[in-house]
Amino acid sequence: MYYIYDNQDRTKTVVLTFLRSELLSDLDQYGYVEGDVQKADAEHLVHGRHQTQDITQDGNIDIVTRRLDLKAAWCREALFPYTKSPVMDNVTLDDVLDNTETYVITMTVPADFSETTVEYLEQLIHNLLVWWALYYWLSITKPEGAEKWLALAQDGEKEIKGALARVCGRRRRPLRPF
């Protein structure tokens, strides 16, 4: 995270960077634990354990990447008051899978924006990306374990919106009758 001052010190630019390698490392660890606690009474359950633990392996990584991309875009949109930027002319998008090495969220915030709020948002977004991807993966490989990760992801979304509401909350204007 870093700050750049703009507009005669009235605003700051904050850049949040999320490394794909860090996100995948967390997904690997959670996937391993979820698979390890899975009961392996029959052969098909052993295969299920292996599928759960192989969340970031070849082939599976493409599914996870699409989920990370989607949730990163959601986060940028959820932070809209601070991330909005005009669309460029003649923009063309496609659905070709791109293994993004970093997810970047650039925010323009008021000069008095709290650094603690930025740090909180950075932690929430990192966890949200991991929890959302893990939920999606487990909904395929271990549906009985997916719900707790969905609940965590939904709580993370609420926390992000709550942090923004505290910062963007209602402001009072002084009354001036004349």
Query: Tokens 């809209």 sit at which residue?
Result: 80
pLDDT at 59 over 60: yes
Crossing angle of helices 60-78/143-168, nearest 10°?
20
91 inside domain: no
pLDDT at 54: 86
In a domain, 124, yes or no: yes
Give how many domains the chain has, as a whole number.
1
Mean pLDDT of the chain, nearest integer: 86
Residues 23 and 157: their CA atoms lie apart, in Å, by 17
Structure tokens at 34: 């979820």
Going by pLDDT thresholds of 50, 70 and 90, the confidence category of residue 37 is confident
Contact yes or no for 53/31 (Cβ under 8 A): yes
Q: Is residue 175 part of a domain?
A: no
How far is C-alpha 80 from the geometric centre of its chain's CA atoms?
Answer: 14
Residue 99 near residue 165, CB atoms below 8 Å: no
pLDDT tens by residue, 64-119: 999 999 999 999 999 998 998 888 888 888 888 888 899 999 999 998 899 999 99
In a domain, 63, yes or no: yes
Task: Report how far residue 177's alpha carbon sits from residue 173's, in angstroms, rounded to the nearest whole number.
Answer: 12
Residue 158 belongs to domain spanning: 2-86+99-168
Provide the CB-side half-sphere exposure for 45 (13 A, CA): 9
* Confidence (pTM): 0.83
At 166 the pLDDT is 79
Let me know if residue 59 belongs to a domain: yes
Q: What is the pLDDT of residues 121-171, one digit of tens each?
A: 999 999 999 999 999 999 998 888 899 999 999 999 999 999 888 765 445
Quick check: 27 pLDDT over 60? yes
In a domain, 173, yes or no: no
